[in-house]
A and B are shown apart, each in its own frame.
Chain A
Amino acid sequence: MSLSDENMKHIVNSLSEEVLTDKLNFEFLKAAENEASRLESGLADLKDYVISGLKQSGHEQKLANFVLRRLPHIKQLHHHLTPEEHKKEPITYIRKSQLAWEKRIWKSLNSMCTELSLPLARKRPDKDFKDMNRKWSELGSDEPNLSQIRPVYAPKDFLEVVSGVKNPNCNDFPLYNNWGLIQATLKVKSLHELRLQYSHMSINQAQSGVDDLTRTPTDIFQGERNKLAKKVIKSCMAGAVQEFLKKGSPTGCRNQIWNSILGIEIGDEEKLYYDQLKNSVLVHDLLVDNLIYKDIKLTATNDDQYFVFEDYLYQVLLPFFRDLVILETIKKSTATPAKSYIRGKLGNEEYAVFYPPNGVIPFHGFSMYVAPLCYCYDDPIMLYYVFRAFYARFFHHLHCVSSHQQGILSLSLLFERLLQQIEPQLFYHLCSIGVQPLKISFKWIIRAFSGYLCSEQVLLLWDRILAYDSLEILAVLAVAIFSFRKTNLLQIQSFQAAEAVMNDLTGLKVIPLLQLTLFSE
């Protein structure tokens, strides 16, 4: 790709700005100071000496990793007249849809508060503060009264919104109307483009998730993969690690591999930051906490695979909703964080605050974004930062209407287009009996399959999300599952029957399914 000078300058400037505000800058200064203090010869060599010292101590590689991590997320250079709202979302009808949807959510949250006579946020009484602090690692044992709390919205409600998004400038021309539910006129990748993108997953390449499951002796393959994994981790080169992950991660090294790509290192600063978030949880009682409690009870606690991690989920999710780093991500996306005023100061901008502090209102199933990660990380603080990185990089796209290629709208459209192309007969049959395939697959996609597949398979799938830096694999997998259950689906005549066929996905092996769909022709 050729870049104009302007764009190149913009990218370099944005990256430099990010480096200067990152803690990496501080690390560099510290290291440079160290190097300088060790200088023995004349001052004339100072700069060369410091620079070569920084290279040798691995700081150059750290900078390269930082650039690699941030480069795909640099916002494009905008024209000087571009309004802020346009920078967030360039397509007007999509922006309007998201705004209308947000208002609905806010209204529903407000009416729940009014009905139950609960405030959105209040200071926790001292006694509760102490109780909670004492029970921090076993919060699940002492739940608040949740009988009247209900999730603000479920994937089903969101599907209605997503399928209602329509471009008013689009002609009602039968040929251009999608047979599926999604009417947005977005560009999605073709099967051919996906094949090229995921070429490392092709059938002639040995994969974790396939070749370690066969009956033939797998120790050779696993041994080789483990050896290579250790080598790339040791190299500290995030790019090499990401390339390695394209063929999946050996179970034992997954946490290190993910940390390397997401740039996660837990130092004193991170621990302190987490402690401050924890303190915010103790000080302020939010209604959103109750939504999260309820969600965990309804999903993870009810799940054979995840109920053991219940207490971990509280320790991650309660601080998460108070983290302002997430608020910054949300502000840059199509979503708008909800606003409110401190009690008694309505309309006074000095007392305007965002609610919840991180700008995210959870939906039914939100806690399942964290649950599978508990299998890889046993330290709640590490778990917290990994989840936060995953959310900021990927998951926030899954519950916001946007024209982003990773957004739920694009993924839903990609699913429908691919299914029509790969299984036209099946798509036609399902439509003719009034079963829109997206009505079945939407809940899988919005939760990134967490809670539907067995946890090991979810992790293998998330390996590929991280390695290819894309959520598109979710739509491909949804198509693959329809293909796999095709014979059964062709015999059914009702929505209930279709749901029954697709109800249990726990026995599926995702990587062979993906390979079949992408590369079988």
Chain B
Amino acid sequence: MESANGYMSQTNPISCTIKPPVPIKIGDHKVEFLTGCHVIDVTFPNVFYVEIGEIHFKNFYTANLTIKVRTRTTEKEGTSTDSKWKTCLNNYQLMPDPHSDTAAEEYFVIGKQHVLFDLINVIAVRIIIRQPSPVWKEFRIEELKFYKASLFIPKEVKLPGWLNDITDNKIKTFDNGPNVEELSKEMQNLMATSQLAKSCSNNSTSIRRYDVDGCYDINLLSYT
């Protein structure tokens, strides 16, 4: 199913386990000192490794984030796990001004164009979220989901036929002699255009109604 803005909404996300965010502390762990930095670990329990095409989430007052992944590497001697965390997205800005509300609750999609390398053979993901501003009580990311492929399918607007064909050079074949099929197609377009023009002229003059069958008797507003 395609939604209004061109996203496919029926693909299932990759199943994963998201651990609660762990605040990073400095020095004495007993002393409350907010570093404005949390770490979220994500693992994929049912599979050995996954391919990630897109990461979706809703922001809640996080200023920027870094994403690291651990991957399985295929070396000469066979398959082994790379214990190193590799950064695939560094300090990605979510809030243009950390001290104010702009984009604080926005929905984000991290796709292939954002990350440094393709996320294949991924074993674990680590997301480091930061909020340097002391203005906010808390910050986090919500509705975190991983998808194998991009969900975005650009939606094309249907232009009238005569506009669509503007860039075509097909019509030049007429120079070499009339082609009946082409000609009839063009005539059809022309007819469609004039039909459209007629329907336009009918629609544009009709007023949308606010009443129901001419009745607009109302006593009170309705709210709950």
Chain A residues in contact with chain B, CB under 8 A? 4, 6, 9-10, 12-13, 16-17, 20, 23, 25-26, 29-30, 32-33, 36, 42-44, 46-47, 51, 77-82, 86, 90-92, 94, 103, 106-107, 109-110, 113-114, 119-123, 167-171, 173, 176, 184-187, 269, 272-273, 276-277, 280, 283-284, 322, 324, 327, 338-343, 346, 350-351, 353-355, 357, 403
- Least CB distance from B145 to A in Å reads 9
Nearest-neighbor residue (CB-CB) of B167 within chain A:
A47
Q: Are A284 and B219 in contact (CB under 8 A)?
A: no
Nearest-neighbor residue (CB-CB) of A347 within chain B:
B222
- Least CB distance from A138 to B in Å reads 26
Could you give, for residues 89-129 of chain B, a 1 whenever the CB lies within 8 Å of some chain A CB and a 0 otherwise? 00000001101111111111100010000000000000000
- Least CB distance from B178 to A in Å reads 9
Q: Are B200 and A26 in contact (CB under 8 A)?
A: yes
**Neighbouring A residues of B46 by C-beta, 8 Å:** none
- Least CB distance from B152 to A in Å reads 6
Q: A16-B157, A324-B210 are in contact. Are A106 and B175 (CB under 8 A)?
A: no
**Neighbouring A residues of B137 by C-beta, 8 Å:** 168-171
Q: Are B7 and A269 in contact (CB under 8 A)?
A: no
- Least CB distance from A429 to B in Å reads 27
- 4 closest Cβ pairs, A-B complex: A80-B7, A79-B107, A357-B210, A187-B100
Q: What would be 18 A-B contacts, judged by CB atoms less than 8 Å apart?
A: A29-B200, A30-B197, A47-B162, A47-B166, A79-B7, A80-B151, A90-B103, A119-B219, A121-B216, A171-B137, A176-B99, A184-B101, A185-B135, A284-B211, A340-B221, A340-B222, A342-B216, A355-B218
**Neighbouring A residues of B186 by C-beta, 8 Å:** 43, 46
**Neighbouring A residues of B104 by C-beta, 8 Å:** 91
What is the number of residues of chain B that contact chain A, defined by CB distance less than 8 Å?
70
Q: A4-B113, A9-B154, A80-B7 are in contact. Are A44 and B171 (CB under 8 A)?
A: yes
Q: Are B174 and A42 in contact (CB under 8 A)?
A: yes
Q: Are A169 and B106 in contact (CB under 8 A)?
A: no
Chain B residues in contact with chain A, CB under 8 A? 3, 5-9, 56, 58, 61, 96-97, 99-109, 113, 134-138, 143, 151-152, 154-157, 159-160, 162, 165-166, 171-172, 174-175, 183, 186, 190, 193-194, 196-197, 200-201, 204-205, 207-208, 210-212, 214-223
Q: Are A90 and B105 in contact (CB under 8 A)?
A: yes
Q: A110-B221, A342-B216, A353-B212 are in contact. Are A6 and B136 (CB under 8 A)?
A: no
Residue in B97, B196, B218 whose CB lies within 8 Å of A341 = B218
How many contacts between A and B, using CB within 8 angstroms?
Answer: 189
**Neighbouring A residues of B134 by C-beta, 8 Å:** 171, 173, 176
**CA of A51 to CA of B162 in the docked complex: distance in angstroms?**
11
**CA of A20 to CA of B135 in the docked complex: distance in angstroms?**
46
Residue from B99, B106, B156, B220 having most chain A Cβ neighbours under 10 A: B220
**CA of A94 to CA of B217 in the docked complex: distance in angstroms?**
33
**CA of A340 to CA of B138 in the docked complex: distance in angstroms?**
40
Q: A44-B174, A340-B220 are in contact. Are A185 and B193 (CB under 8 A)?
A: no
**CA of A31 to CA of B120 in the docked complex: distance in angstroms?**
55
**CA of A283 to CA of B211 in the docked complex: distance in angstroms?**
11
**Neighbouring B residues of A80 by C-beta, 8 Å:** 3, 5, 7-9, 151
